[in-house]
Amino acid sequence: WIFLFLMDGYQQFCPLLPDFTQCFHNTVLVWLPCLYLWICAPIYLIYLRSHNQGYICMSLLNKAKTAVSLLLWIICWADVFYSFWERSHGSSVPAPVLLVSPTLLGLTMLLATFIVQYERMKGVQSSGVMLIYWLLATLCAIVTFRSKILQALDQLSTVCVWRYTTFFIYFTLLLIALFLSCLPDRPPLFSQAVKDPNPCPEHGASFLSKITFWWISRMMVIGYKRPLEEKDLWSLNLDDRSQNVVPQLVHRWNTECQKVKRTEEKTLYSPRQDRQRETKQGPAVEESEILLTKTQQKAKEPSLFWVLCLTFGPYFLISCLYKFIQDILMFVGPEILRLLISFVNNSNAPSWHGFFYTALLFVCTCVQSLVLQRYFHVCFVTGMRLRTAIIGAVYRKALVISSAARRTSTVGEIVNLMSVDAQRFMDLITYINMIWSAPLQVVLALYFLWQNLGASVLAGVAVMILLVPVNAVIAMKTKSYQVAQMKSKDNRIKLMNEMLNGIKVLKLYAWELAFKDKVAGIRESELQVLKKAAYLGAVSTFTWVCAPFLVALSTFAVYVLVDEHNVLDAEKAFVSLALFNILRFPLNMLPMVISSMVQASVSLKRLRVFLSHEELQEDSVEHKVIAGCDISIMDGVFCWSRSESPALKRLNVCIPEGSLVAVVGHVGSGKSSLLSALLGEMDKLEGTVAIKGSVAYVPQQAWIQNSTLKGNIIFGQERKEAWYQHVVEACALQPDLEILPAGDETEIGEKGVNLSGGQKQRVSLARAVYCDRAIYLLDDPLSAVDAHVGKHIFDQVIGPQGLLKDKTRVLVTHGLSYLPQADLILVMVEGEITEMGSYQQLMATEGAFSEFLRTYAAVDQTQNNESVAKSGTKGLENGTINSVSKLSQTGKEDKDLSQKAKNPGVGKLTEADKASTGQVKLSVFWAYLKAIGVLLSFISLLLFITHHGLSLFSNYWLSLWTDDPVINGTQPTRMMRLGVYGALGFSQGVAVFGFSLSMSIGGILASRYLHQSMLYDVLRSPMSFFERTPSGNLVNRFSKEIDTIDTVIPQIFKMFLGSMFNVLGACVVILIATPLVAVVIPFLGLLYFFVQRFYVASSRQLKRLESVSRSPIYTHFNETLLGTSVIRAFGEQERFICNSDQRVDHNQKAYFPSIVANRWLAIRLEFVGNCIVSFAALFAVIARESLSPGIMGLSISYALQLTTSLTWLVRMSSDMETNIVAVEKVKEYSDTEKEAEWKHEPSSLPSGWPTEGQIELRGFCLRYRHDLDLAIRNINITISGGEKVGIVGRTGAGKSSLTLGLFRIIERAEGHIFIDGVDIAQLGLHELRSRITIIPQDPVVFSGSLRMNLDPFDSYSDDEVWRALEFSHLKNFVSSLPDKLNHECSEGGENLSVGQRQLLCLARALLRKTKILVLDEATAAVDMETDNLIQSTIRSQFEDCTILTIAHRLNTIMDYTRVLVLEKGEIAEFDSPSNLISQRGAFYKMAKDAGLV
């Protein structure tokens, strides 16, 4: 309409061919592009100066651009000189404008030349600013060009040949310049893209390619031809990589924290000064302390929000500009609609008006599409960077967080911060601009409405204002539900995490059902909350579907009823409707944005709390040179958290260089804490700790990574082959490598699932030895290995002759036989060092130590002394003989090993998440519908169709109303029309409410069913499944995929159906109005369909690649959290951070193309939509004689909505495909192999079975996987009831495998096991496992009360539980706890020592008290005293039971009835201990190593 104003002024109005005046051509059309460039140039040049991309060498393209610009400059000056020449020679003086315009144009061309060169020097490959300039100049020139041609045809005499010639040359050069500016230049020198094998094409793309997202087309074509793979993904842009993004956020966050700390300190110090002055009067001190605590409570929190704004704000601000332009352009549509309707009404208007409006409509909608997609692109990229930064910051924080703070957040919670909360921010970023944009749109819409309908708009506004508080209340309620749901979800994930970590124990104890009920309980409360949220959601859907309609209804009603001469004609009604439709969007979005902001604020708070946790004191351990000793502690007092009493008190230790120090003491006396204090893991309250040199640490419970065995030992150091072999042999790992399927290339599962306890410990030790540090802190590394292996390791590694003989070693140990060789022994009692000195000194002082030894040494003093004397030579001799015999074996087996290594596939264990390919099968949708219930699905659909039918009919009714004839300035039927219109609207609302409710309830029913069946399927899976499947994948299924099914899928179904019916409705209306469109719609429909299929093929695959690469981030994070102390001790934080960053970048590599693909699609679809709108308008213009204004208004107002609906439809259909994958993944586990049935109905077992406890194995064989060799071969033994049998053999001989076979954790390969004559293969697993008891090797404790840990089914009375605790020597400890039996164990039982956890397992066994008891290396982690307590308890309490013990300390089984010696899975010897020793076979050798013979 601005153009029209200009036209009216400058037009020599001929009805067919309008034209501008000569003056307009010479001024406005020349000055407009010049003005644009002069305004943009300064800003653009400053931007280029600060964003230097590198230097581009002169290329042919650049020379051509420069040449054309200079030629244009010459042409302009030629015009100027011609004007001067005319003045001096001509009779008439030319107008001054003929001088001014060419001069200005010439200067502008010079500026253009300068910009082209400056861009080249700053590395700009394609320039938007210049392209827009050339485009503007060309468009203006085209108008003049047409005008000059017309003038030449009409009035040839007035033509000035010189000016015509220069203009046509100018016009040709402009076209060339425009063409050249569309081409991109070569990349700058030394740019990243040159080095990269697969760079992202965005940087090198031309400006046109960037705004239309053409540069991703190559990937889309590949994706259409075949499913995309990893190798097709581009490298991430430098600006999006972790190494760039995370440090910015971390740096700003630290600065913010420092700032807050400084302001806090100011407030804190003032009371302290008074305190110093008044120390003489006692009370003043207390007062000032009270003051201190008060000021601390009011302390200001560091603002994470502000930090995020500073980090990502500048880039994000560009999006605000785009959004503003797009908001303004939105209102062009209704205005053009008004002009079109008035054009149809006015039969005198010239035809070109109509065509001009149509063209204008097309151009405006296309520009709007381009700007909107650019806006979304900026938003999504910001969101992506934000997620990268948050994950990186959380990971870095998790590595430095103090142990006290670590206890407040469980692994599950921290993983949720990474997965769910980071995702929340990402989702919010796309909408956050609506906070200012929605009010702007509302104000603009109201302004245009006011112009259209006058004061009656206020009625509509009143309705809107009334609806705002309703939506606000709903949003607030939703927030509270949100928090409750997140809490339940955290608890559920935490419990799932623990169950997956301790799944072996659950199976051995047959506790799956108890834990399944616990999870189901939490899940039920979660679903209750979801159900409430669904009711609220239905109400809010109802309000927002009805809102625009109510607004329209009230406005029209007031307009018609206020004055009977107010006629509702087509122009008023449909322009208002189009504006109401625009209004609908911000009104719907606002509550959504508010709730999204609410969710994000919850997440923001969680993140802020986590990032503000206190960190380990960096200065607690000083690394400095100390005279004469490597480690010194002076007056040390340490605690685990400031709120608890100190765990270590009054420590004074000085450890000389190169000495071997043994630390002994009872369970819970603070031995492990001492090592933690040396590592700086504890809070230092007083004193100093100094350490000279680098540290290696072996924790009590080995931490094993999910990588190859070799990777675990080398631990990121450089490869030294000879040293590696040396270490492997010294740590007795060579025989294990021979057993493992691919030697040292075998993949070790998470937490070392496919290694035995002893192997894990030895790998952990080998890692420390390989790293070659100055100081070794060894936390009882010999506890989990057999006696003779322990001796071998002590001699070869730790002892005075071992690999580490020149290093300083601090060894926590329970093995008394090693003590005589220690240079210094520290005796710990209740967190203090009571005695220290050499073995002889301590024996001489007759203190606690000698008492301790006398009672518990398995051998009397004399033998011990002899063995000390001889051990020097004998140990070595033994060592060498062993090694020689082993070498001869290894010679033979080297060949096998090399063959094994060549086929690394053998050693694969864990299966990464695979990305499924191709279309999502219909069966998945069908499975989801079945989960909802077919009837409910059908009812929902019916209600939905009703709603849309009514909506269409109500708008058609409106068009009939507007076409009613006007009699005496009024419409006589208006009351009837208004009544029907109102009724239609109301019934629409009811239908929507019903649909929304049934859909949400259906979604909840489905997610309950799917979660339940997945949980059951996972628990029914055999152990091998958990060894193969990384827990990250399983946790991901239970958190991310279930979250998708809970909240995302029902929403997407609603929106998908909504947009589908909108599109169909719009097409129907347009066809009714202008049947001619039928010619175009099929063609555009085909185009639409092709674009959509083309897109979905790539998008679906990208989404899958993205979700597959997401699990490793969490798996790695989980692993890191478990091993933080080891990572810190070795100083490997940087490597792990780097590793995590790589995984995040790898994930974003798949995410980035998927967001670009969305933009690619949106632009193409909106183009299809814009074509439909333009054709509807065009055909309406052509057929304006036969059209009523009402129908035309209806048709175009529907067409204007079509673009948005089309885009939504494709986004929703692809979202539906990508999200329904969650159902596919959840259903996946229903097809994996399952264990045998848990219970047989009816049970064939007698009630007290087994009554005797007799075990018979006949020809028993067992293998771990069908592709592996037998682990146990042909075992035939009978053990009569009440016998005590020890099982011994070196690591990997099959001791644990035998017990796994007994419990049917692994099913037999052949043969039978009979217990009391019943073949156990015929029983249900729970029937079998609940009737025999095991005390497992790893003491697993679940978070929850102590009572729950002992008796999850609540089947015993409190008295029985206390009795069990008494016999397991825990009664005193538990009685001293404030909550007694309800004491909360933390995750993984971290607030109990390993020894206490072991005793807790003993208490479980005492409670169950079955006829058969299996002890699996159960006393490995306890000291001699506790060991004896356990042994005596077992002897007295299980006197009449059959006991099978896998023993490392042979002294515990010397009084057993028989001993079974296993070698390579076969029986080597089986007889009473005394007979075996007299036979001098394998058992004799072991006993000799242990110093028992």
H or E element at residue 1225: helix 1189-1228
Q: How much is the average pLDDT of 137-155? A: 85
The answer for residues whose C-beta is within 8 angstroms of residue 262's C-beta and 6 or more apart is none
Residue 1291: CB atoms within 10 Å: 23
CA-to-CA distance for 815 and 856, rounded, in angstroms?
A: 10
pLDDT tens sequence across 113-128: 999 888 888 888 888 8
CA-to-CA distance for 1270 and 1384, rounded, in angstroms?
A: 43
DSSP state, residue 1257: E
DSSP state, residue 1351: -
Residue 194: CB atoms within 10 Å: 12
3-state secondary structure of 1273: strand
CA-to-CA distance for 1048 and 1035, rounded, in angstroms?
A: 18
Residue 1470 dihedral angles phi and psi, to the nearest 5°: -155, 105
pLDDT at residue 872 greater than cutoff 80 = no
Looking at the DSSP bridge assignments, the partners of residue 1261 are 1310
Indicate the average pLDDT of the chain. Answer: 80
The candidate with the shortest Cα–Cα distance to 743, out of 902, 635, 548, 922, is 902
Residue 247 has a pLDDT of: 92
Instruction: Determine the residue type at 332.
Output: V
pLDDT tens sequence across 968-1008: 777 777 788 888 888 888 888 888 888 888 888 888 888 88
pLDDT at residue 3 greater than cutoff 60 = no
- pLDDT band for position 1144 (cuts 50, 70, 90): very high
Q: How much is the average pLDDT of 148-161? A: 79
Q: Are 545 and 989 in contact (CB under 8 A)?
A: yes
CA-to-CA distance for 1130 and 679, rounded, in angstroms?
A: 10
Looking at the DSSP bridge assignments, the partners of residue 698 are 778
Residue 1480 dihedral angles phi and psi, to the nearest 5°: 55, 45
Residue 270 has a pLDDT of: 46
pLDDT at residue 964 greater than cutoff 90 = no
Higher pLDDT among residues 658 and 1206, named by residue:
658
Backbone φ/ψ region at 541: left (φ over 0), alpha (ψ -120 to 50), beta? alpha
Q: What is the pTM of this model?
A: 0.75
pLDDT at residue 900 greater than cutoff 70 = no
pLDDT tens sequence across 908-962: 666 655 555 556 778 888 888 888 888 888 888 898 888 888 888 888 888 888 8
pLDDT at residue 1137 greater than cutoff 90 = yes
Q: Are 709 and 771 in contact (CB under 8 A)?
A: no
pLDDT at residue 649 greater than cutoff 50 = yes
CA-to-CA distance for 713 and 769, rounded, in angstroms?
A: 9
pLDDT at residue 262 greater than cutoff 50 = yes
Residue 919 has a pLDDT of: 66
The answer to whether the peptide bond before residue 1250 is cis (omega within 30 degrees of 0) is yes
Q: Are 706 and 750 in contact (CB under 8 A)?
A: yes
Q: How much is the average pLDDT of 875-883? A: 29
CA-to-CA distance for 368 and 374, rounded, in angstroms?
A: 10
pLDDT at residue 507 greater than cutoff 70 = yes
Residue 910 has a pLDDT of: 61
pLDDT at residue 506 greater than cutoff 80 = yes
Compute CA distances 724 → 333, 382, 896, 1127, 1203, whole Å. 74, 46, 20, 20, 66
pLDDT at residue 275 greater than cutoff 70 = no
Q: How much is the average pLDDT of 752-777? A: 86
Q: Are 879 and 799 in contact (CB under 8 A)?
A: no
CA-to-CA distance for 473 and 466, rounded, in angstroms?
A: 12
Determine the length of the chain.
Answer: 1493
Residue 246 has a pLDDT of: 92
Q: Which residue has the tokens 């310049």?
A: 177
Higher pLDDT among residues 885 and 938, named by residue:
938
Of the ranges 372-376, 440-444, 766-770, 1216-1220, which one carries the lowest mean pLDDT score? 1216-1220
The candidate with the shortest Cα–Cα distance to 141, out of 100, 180, 113, 175, is 175
pLDDT tens sequence across 1255-1283: 888 888 888 777 777 888 888 888 888 88
pLDDT tens sequence across 568-610: 777 788 888 888 877 777 776 776 777 778 778 888 888 898 8
Q: How much is the average pLDDT of 379-390? A: 90
CA-to-CA distance for 1016 and 1374, rounded, in angstroms?
A: 34
pLDDT at residue 1414 greater than cutoff 80 = yes
H or E element at residue 1095: helix 1081-1108
Looking at the DSSP bridge assignments, the partners of residue 1470 are 1460
The answer for residues whose C-beta is within 8 angstroms of residue 611's C-beta and 6 or more apart is 253, 304, 393, 394, 397
Residue 1396 has a pLDDT of: 81
Q: Largest alpha-carbon pair distance within the chain?
A: 139
Backbone φ/ψ region at 1385: left (φ over 0), alpha (ψ -120 to 50), beta? beta
CA-to-CA distance for 166 and 222, rounded, in angstroms?
A: 49
Residue 911 has a pLDDT of: 60
Residue 915 has a pLDDT of: 55
pLDDT tens sequence across 294-326: 444 455 788 888 888 888 888 888 888 889 988
Across the beta sheet with 622-623, the strand order is 622-623, 683-691, 629-639, 648-656
pLDDT at residue 155 greater than cutoff 80 = no
Residue 1048 has a pLDDT of: 81
Residue 726 has a pLDDT of: 86
3-state secondary structure of 59: coil
CA-to-CA distance for 375 and 433, rounded, in angstroms?
A: 10
The answer for residues whose C-beta is within 8 angstroms of residue 1057's C-beta and 6 or more apart is 941, 944
Helix axes 570-611, 351-400, angle to 10 degrees: 10
Higher pLDDT among residues 175 and 56, named by residue:
175
Q: How much is the average pLDDT of 658-666? A: 87
Indicate the pairing of strand 660-665 with strand 824-829.
parallel
Q: How much is the average pLDDT of 84-108? A: 80
3-state secondary structure of 1422: coil
Residue 986 has a pLDDT of: 83
Q: Which residue has the tokens 């496992």?
A: 1329
CA-to-CA distance for 1450 and 1446, rounded, in angstroms?
A: 10
Residue 10 has a pLDDT of: 40
Residue 891 has a pLDDT of: 36
Compute CA distances 361 → 334, 337, 576, 1175, 1177, whole Å. 10, 9, 18, 11, 9
CA 987 to chain centre: 43
Across the beta sheet with 775-779, the strand order is 695-698, 775-779, 808-812, 660-665, 824-829, 832-837
The candidate with the shortest Cα–Cα distance to 1118, out of 408, 394, 516, is 394
Residue 1310 has a pLDDT of: 86
pLDDT at residue 287 greater than cutoff 50 = no
Residue 908 dihedral angles phi and psi, to the nearest 5°: -70, 140
pLDDT tens sequence across 1189-1242: 788 788 877 877 777 777 778 778 777 877 888 888 888 888 888 887 888 777
Which of 269-273, 424-428, 836-840 reaches the highest mean pLDDT? 836-840
Indicate the pairing of strand 683-691 with strand 622-623.
parallel
pLDDT above 70 covers a percentage of the chain that reads 90
- DSSP letters for 501-558: HTHHHHHHHT-HHHHHHHHHHHHHHHHHHHHHHHHHHHHHHHHHHHHHHHHHHHHHHH
